[in-house]
């Protein structure tokens, strides 16, 4: 899969450091081609109304180790909510 330099840099910057990396919509589209884990952290009702393709729902209020166990902590994960306000 072809990956633009900016996305590669974002992935490289996060490798091993763990620090969350802010990404744009276009970077997200590229990451989705690599089958990242996409998580909507809004309440279930908002997720059911509409969500990004392929996203799973883990509301922030339910961020327990048990609920997060469905994610692979060694693979890229992208979180999002409604907007940046």
Catalytic residue numbers, as ranges: 81
Is 8 a binding residue for another protein by CB under 8 A? The answer is no
Indicate which single residue of 10, 30, 33, 44 sits in contact with another protein (rule: CB under 8 A). Answer: 10
From 16, 14, 83, 19, select the one nearest 46 (Cα to Cα): 83
Distance CA 51, CA 81 (A): 10
Quick one: DSSP state of residue 61? G
Classify 83 as helix, strand or coil. Answer: coil
Nearer residue to another protein within complex by CB, 1 or 16 = 16
Rounded to a whole number of angstroms, the minimum distance from the CB of residue 51 to another protein is 5
Classify 41 as helix, strand or coil. Answer: coil
47, 57 contact by CB (below 8 A): yes
Site string (54-83) toward another protein, x via CB under 8 A: -x----x--x-x--x--x-xxxxxxxxxxx
Residues making contact with another protein (CB under 8 A): 10-11, 14-25, 27-29, 31, 36, 39-42, 47-53, 55, 60, 63, 65, 68, 71, 73-84
């Amino acid at each position: 899969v072809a990956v633009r330099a900016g996305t590669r840099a974002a992935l490289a910057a996060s490798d091993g450091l763990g620090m969350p990396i802010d990404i744009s919509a276009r970077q997200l589209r590229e990451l989705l081609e690599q089958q990242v884990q996409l998580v909507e952290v809004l309440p279930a009702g908002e997720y059911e109304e509409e969500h990004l393709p392929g996203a799973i729902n883990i509301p922030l209020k339910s961020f327990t180790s048990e609920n997060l166990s469905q994610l692979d902590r060694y693979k890229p994960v992208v979180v999002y909510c409604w907007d940046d306000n």
